[in-house]
Amino acid sequence: MKLLRELLFPLIAVVAAFIVGGILILIIGDNPIEAYRLLFGSAFSWPVGIGYTLFYATPLIFTGLAVLVAFRCGLLNIGAEGQLYIAAFATAWVGITFANLSPWLLIPMCFVAAIIGGGVWGAIPGILKARFGSHEVINTIMLNFLAVALVSYFIQYHYKAPGDPIMESVPIGWGAHIFRLGKFIPGMPQYIPLNLAFILALVCCGLVYIFLWRTKWGYELRSTGTNPSAAEYGGISVRKQIIIAMTISGALAGMVGLNEVLGHRYRYYDGFSDNYGYTGIAVALLGRNHPVGVIISALLFAVLQRGGLPVDAFTQHVTKDIVQVLQGTIILFVAAEAFFSGAFARFGLLKRSNV
Amino acid sequence: MSEIFTIALIWSTIRLSTPLILAALGGLFSERSGVINIALEGMMLAGAFTAAAVTYATGSPYVGLVAGMMAGMLIAAIHAVACIQYKADQVVTGTAINILMLGMPAFLSGAFFLSSGSTPQIPKEHLVPWLPIIIAMVMVPLSWYVLYKTPFGLRLRSVGENPEAADAAGVPVARMRYAGVLLSGVLAGLGGAYLSIGQSSLFTRNMTSGRGFIALAALIFGKWRPFQTLLACLLFGFTEAVSIQMQGVVKLPSGDDIPVQFIQMVPYILTIIVLAGFIGSSRPPRALGIPYQKER
């Protein structure tokens, strides 16, 4: 019954959101079935569609994991957006500054830069909460804007190629490029930016699972999330856990920088994130704050993102903005789960939960 | 330095503060009733788009303003039903609304105006550059009066501070919270409407560009009180005005431009500092963010 609940409500939320989206498409005078066929058809076409879908899923797995880890400690990290910007810039900075090093040195250094960049930016609201009790939600929102402004300053004044009209840094060194998976997967062209970071994202899912459910540290972190006063009583320092959770969360979000800088554009591109941080909240929530769930829901949101483009191009009125409408509606339905569970209880299909 | 501190700067400050004031006052009513409102951004976008679309269609900015407020209220109603009726997480719901409203206006513009996310230009004579500013200025003392001098305000504050006690005293907690959230939608919608048919002459994709969050920051910086919030909005509006005026005018001794990014950072840094309690303490309403479960 528990597993059923875990699977049922996210599924209902997704279906309900697609119905709402379908009605909207119908209202503006297009055929929803045709639009959805375009959406899924393109996202699952081999190799280009699937390649891009997995590429889009990569940052969402990272940000989904970031939100998950914080959530398991009872924190809501809506700052993944800022954390990944800082991390991507840090990655690019290392890739530019030490451009001539060998890949064996440069790639690990970039990796560390991403983790430190994201981790530090995540630790700040953690420390502020642990030390001053200020709410992490507000601070992470503020830090998102700060990150964007800060990085945009560095790019505009220090790391842009002179005369380049685009807000982007100079390219990183060749040694910092990571493999595109097209190199190994027969039939997948190398222009598809799906890269090693995708594998790293899957590895991180495993590591997060082991950390949270198989280690003492993870147990302490989760205990803090479920009942902070009991945890404190049991000898766990809640303040320490808050800082640890936010740091890990930020570091996970930061790895988006690897996908973007080392595997995709090979430079820092201002405003590259398509709301990855905020979508991460949706990913974690829909995935029931479990690493496996995160993979599945990251794939779903990636499908939407990839499929939005042909919908935009090949329908009369529907633009790719339908993707954000669907995303928002899905989160809304997932958040207001009681809306469905209440209805189920009324018809005697499911026992009312004691939330 | 003196050439930038002019009447133009004051005027620009007032214009840029107005949407912040309206949205922040909206946030005030919602948060004072105990419901976190990070969806101000989405409500502003709803107001901005609807006001522009309706003004374009009807030719009357007044109808547009009302429509903008209604749109804000409609979005607020979604927030309210999810958070109050279904006890959804208020921050998550707010985030959902923000994402939804990033897409929805652009989706509708694309469909109705065959554009890539903006409405057509509205003729100059159909704009309302003054009215929302006046409303904003009036709304500040009015909000103060309503919150602190009327039974409605007392009840609203009581459900935000101590809903159990309020409930025991016969205050309808859910109804008061609905009122607070819906009011916030009306005001944020008006703030958004001012952006599209007051300051500008059309709706463009994501035209609020984070103003809903700045308004939220102003509300916190203003310690959830109307007059302090006004001052915070004016300060944040001023920083924006300065950063616009300074571009290319004021130089550092080295001859370089002063990076606007640093001025843009001011509101965010101030909010973090005040929230940490360095400049007096900013204490949120006690029951903020906690759904109220009536005892059975």
Q: Is the pLDDT of residue A353 over 50?
A: no
Most trustworthy range by pLDDT among A30-34, B23-27, B102-106, B221-225:
B23-27
The mean pLDDT of A250-265, rounded to a whole number, is: 96
> Radius of gyration of chain B from Cα atoms?
19
* Beta carbons of A122 and A139 less than 8 angstroms apart: no
Give me the percent of chain B exceeding a pLDDT of 70: 93
Q: How far is CA A90 from the centre of its chain?
A: 18
Q: Which pLDDT belongs to residue A354? A: 37
Q: Using a CB-CB distance cutoff of 8 angstroms, which residues of chain A are in contact with residue B99? A: 275, 278-279, 282, 324, 327-328, 331
> Which three-class secondary structure state does DSSP give residue A347?
coil
Q: Is B41 a domain residue? A: yes
- Cα angle vertex A303, ends A298, A305, to 5°? 95
Give me the percent of chain A exceeding a pLDDT of 70: 96
Q: Which pLDDT belongs to residue B296? A: 54
Instruction: Name which of A321, A322, A340, A354 to mutate to probe chain B: the one with the most chain B Cβ atoms within 10 A of its Cβ.
Output: A321
Half-sphere exposure in the Cβ direction for A342 (13 Å, CA): 11
Which residue's entry shows tokens 């970039």? A110
Most trustworthy range by pLDDT among A257-266, B103-112, B279-288:
A257-266
* Beta carbons of A316 and A29 less than 8 angstroms apart: yes
Q: Which pLDDT belongs to residue B252? A: 67
> Considering only alpha carbons, which residue of chain A is nearest residue B78?
A332
Query: Cα–Cα distance between A290 and A71 in angstroms, integer?
Result: 10
Residue type, B103: G
Most trustworthy range by pLDDT among A57-61, A348-352, B118-122:
A57-61
The mean pLDDT of B157-170, rounded to a whole number, is: 94
In this structure, chain B runs to a length of 296
Q: What is the mean pLDDT of chain A?
A: 91
What are the tens digits of pLDDT across the range A32-85?
999 999 999 988 888 899 999 999 999 999 999 999 999 999 999 999 999 999
Instruction: Name which of A78, A138, A167 to mutate to probe chain B: the one with the most chain B Cβ atoms within 10 A of its Cβ.
Output: A138
Of A110-114, B184-188, B260-264, the range with the lowest mean pLDDT is B260-264
Of A302, A288, A295, residue with least CA distance to A334:
A288
* Among B82, B99, B104, beta carbon nearest to A275: B99
Query: Cα–Cα distance between A245 and A241 in angstroms, integer?
Result: 6
Contact (CB<8Å) B96/A355: no
Q: Using a CB-CB distance cutoff of 8 angstroms, which residues of chain A are in contact with residue B284? A: 135
DSSP codes, A170-218: PPPPGGG---BGGGTSTT--TTS--BHHHHHHHHHHHHHHHHHHHSHHH
State ipTM. Answer: 0.89
Contact (CB<8Å) B272/A328: no
Q: Which pLDDT belongs to residue B221? A: 87
Q: Hey, where are the domains in chain A? A: 60-294
Q: Using a CB-CB distance cutoff of 8 angstroms, which residues of chain A are in contact with residue B110? A: 317-319, 321
What are the tens digits of pLDDT across the range A273-316?
988 999 999 899 999 999 999 999 999 999 999 988 888 888 88
Q: Is the pLDDT of residue A1 over 70?
A: no
* Beta carbons of B196 and B203 less than 8 angstroms apart: yes
What are the tens digits of pLDDT across the range A82-141?
999 999 999 999 999 999 999 999 999 999 999 999 999 999 999 999 999 888 888 999
Q: Which two tokens stand for residue A233?
A: 């009583």
What are the tens digits of pLDDT across the range B142-152?
999 999 999 99
**Which CATH number does the domain housing residue B263 bear?**
1.10.3470
Query: Cα–Cα distance between A17 and A332 in angstroms, integer?
Result: 9
DSSP codes, A115-129: HHHHHHHHHHHHHHH
The mean pLDDT of B211-238, rounded to a whole number, is: 93
> Considering only alpha carbons, which residue of chain A is nearest residue B38?
A138
Confidence of residue B282 (pLDDT cuts 50, 70, 90): low
Q: What is the mean pLDDT of chain B?
A: 91
Contact (CB<8Å) B96/A139: no
Residue type, B248: G
> Which three-class secondary structure state does DSSP give residue A351?
coil
> How far does the CA of residue B8 sit from the closest CA of chain A (Å)?
26
Between B38 and A163, name the one with better pLDDT. Answer: B38
What are the tens digits of pLDDT across the range B242-261?
888 877 666 666 666 778 88
Q: Which pLDDT belongs to residue B93? A: 94
> Considering only alpha carbons, which residue of chain A is nearest residue B271?
A142
Of A321, A279, A281, A285, residue with least CA distance to A301:
A279
Q: Is the pLDDT of residue A346 over 60?
A: no
Of B186, B129, B141, residue with least CA distance to B14:
B129
Q: Is B188 a domain residue? A: yes
Which domain, by its residues, includes B53? Answer: 2-275
Q: Is B185 a domain residue? A: yes
Q: Is the pLDDT of residue B156 over 50?
A: yes
Contact (CB<8Å) A328/B103: yes
Q: Is the pLDDT of residue B158 over 60?
A: yes
> Considering only alpha carbons, which residue of chain A is nearest residue B270?
A142
Contact (CB<8Å) A324/B99: yes
Q: Using a CB-CB distance cutoff of 8 angstroms, which residues of chain B are in contact with residue A76? A: 89, 91-92
Between B1 and A77, name the one with better pLDDT. Answer: A77
Q: Is the pLDDT of residue B2 over 70?
A: no
Q: Which pLDDT belongs to residue B5? A: 65
Contact (CB<8Å) A285/B92: yes
Structural domain total, chain B:
1
> Considering only alpha carbons, which residue of chain B is nearest residue A67?
B92
Contact (CB<8Å) A132/B264: no
* Among B86, B271, B272, beta carbon nearest to A338: B86
